[in-house]
């Protein structure tokens, strides 16, 4: 996703001198083309993420559209006070971008596992929260946050789903994408782990199980209409996220349904439930270990359908 993000950002920044990128002392190989083509729109704040957000807020309040960039936890948790008190409170045009959602940096351990950031950022008043699941969504989301006025969070992943947009399809903040049709059950996924949802749905289709798959690329504002429609038209809902289940996508979906008095026939949240992800390994390994890969998703769907019966 990061290559798509940078290429989109370059094309936007060349046309819009308001766009500025501030990095927290990383991503130089990735940002080198940006720096070469837009040298006056790039700044390295050093290993000082709190200062990075403070700088970004000041520049945004002076009329710029400022992207801050760091690894998952560093760009959110390390500078949360500044995101809250400086950027979000003043509704500044600060675009918080992190690379490495979920277990993307799995081998580097808990300090690099971004598994609470969605909960934190979606609870922040006024902060639009985007978690694209494929490369097309990542590129479109980058353009969308430039057009959106106010503080946003864009969470990028090292893995992507192998999905493509329909002809003429348009990306819209707050509107989910249906990437697979079906009526037996709905899998709602966010982020790169959408790939596991799609693989599970395609595998189940060979056995006559028709799964609807929604890519919930926007956690806030949430597409409640698509969620309610899925609950009413399909046999149940399974949410999937590479993130703690506490306060993340699954909680947001449950809140949306219960607030409206909608009760799906079956419902389950799939995400991290075992506390902190205290082991290390590749992203695929950690997904398997915590029961979040396509095999686990397929088994969960079968279990839900059995319970429904």
At a CB cut-off of 8 Å and minimum separation 6, what does 221 contact? 128, 173, 174
Cis status of the peptide bond prior to 221, with omega within 30 of 0: yes
Return the structure tokens found at 20: 């500025």
Nearest alpha-carbon partner for 77 in 134, 115, 129: 115
Alpha carbon distance 215, 195 (integer Å): 10
Catalytic residue among 14, 49, 143, 255: 49
Q: What are phi and psi of 116, to 5 degrees?
A: -130, -5
At a CB cut-off of 8 Å and minimum separation 6, what does 63 contact? 18
242 catalytic residue (yes or no): no
List the beta strands (DSSP E) in 126-207: 128-130, 152-156, 177-180, 185-189
Alpha carbon distance 266, 176 (integer Å): 21
Q: Other C-beta atoms within 10 Å of 40: how many?
A: 8
Q: Which residues are known catalytic residues?
A: 49
């Amino acid at each position: 996703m990061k290559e798509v993000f940078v290429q989109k950002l370059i094309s936007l920044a060349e046309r819009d001198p308001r766009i500025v990128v501030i990095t927290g002392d990383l991503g130089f190989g990735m940002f080198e083309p940006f720096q070469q083509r837009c040298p006056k729109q790039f700044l390295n704040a050093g290993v000082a993420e709190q200062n990075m957000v403070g700088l970004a807020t000041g520049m945004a309040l002076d009329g710029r559209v400022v992207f801050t960039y760091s690894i998952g936890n560093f760009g959110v948790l390390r500078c949360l006070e500044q995101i809250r008190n400086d950027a979000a409170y003043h509704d500044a045009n600060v675009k918080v971008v992190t690379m490495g959602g979920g277990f993307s940096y799995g081998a580097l351990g808990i300090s690099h596992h971004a598994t609470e950031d969605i909960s934190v950022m979606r609870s922040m008043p006024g902060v639009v929260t985007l978690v694209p699941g494929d490369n097309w969504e990542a590129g479109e989301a980058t353009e969308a946050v430039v057009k959106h006025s106010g503080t946003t969070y864009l969470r990028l992943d090292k893995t992507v789903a192998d999905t493509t947009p329909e002809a003429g399809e348009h990306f819209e903040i707050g509107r989910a994408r249906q990437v697979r049709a079906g009526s037996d059950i709905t899998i709602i996924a966010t982020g790169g782990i959408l790939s596991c949802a799609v693989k599970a749905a395609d595998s189940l289709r060979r056995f006559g199980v028709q799964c609807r798959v929604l890519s919930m690329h926007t956690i806030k504002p949430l597409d409640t209409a698509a969620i309610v429609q899925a609950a009413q038209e399909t046999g149940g809902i399974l949410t999937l996220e590479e993130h703690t289940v506490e306060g993340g996508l699954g909680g947001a979906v449950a809140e949306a349904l219960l607030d409206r008095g909608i009760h799906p026939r079956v419902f389950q949240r799939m995400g991290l439930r075992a506390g902190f992800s205290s082991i290390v390994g590749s992203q695929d390994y950690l997904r398997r270990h915590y029961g979040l890969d396509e095999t686990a998703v397929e088994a969960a769907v079968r279990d839900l359908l059995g319970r429904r019966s």
